[in-house]
């Protein structure tokens, strides 16, 4: 099953907090997000197809 990520700004909007509050309070819940995003960016820049 593919992992799906929701942008922090969208989570914050839905729960009525700022992205800063979400990142601070739930930091342990979003570990690995940056690595996943970097991998998608790298793949896109290498021309391996759609990274979305």
Q: Give the per-residue pLDDT at 1.
A: 46
Q: What is the pLDDT of residues 7-20, one digit of tens each?
A: 888 888 999 999 99
Torsion angle defined by CA atoms of residues 42, 36, 6 and 21, in that order, rounded to the nearest 10 degrees: -110
Please report the beta strands in the chain, taking only residues with DSSP state E, as ranges in sequence order. Answer: none
> Which parts of the chain sit beneath pLDDT 70?
1-4, 28-31, 48-52
Q: Give the per-residue pLDDT at 18.
A: 92
Length of the chain: 52
| Mean pLDDT rounded to a whole number for the chain | 77
């Amino acid at each position: 099953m593919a992992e799906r990520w929701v942008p922090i700004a969208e989570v914050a909007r839905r729960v009525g907090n700022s992205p800063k509050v979400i990142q601070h309070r739930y930091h342990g819940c979003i570990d690995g997000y940056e690595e996943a995003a970097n991998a998608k960016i790298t793949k896109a820049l290498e021309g391996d197809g759609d990274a979305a």
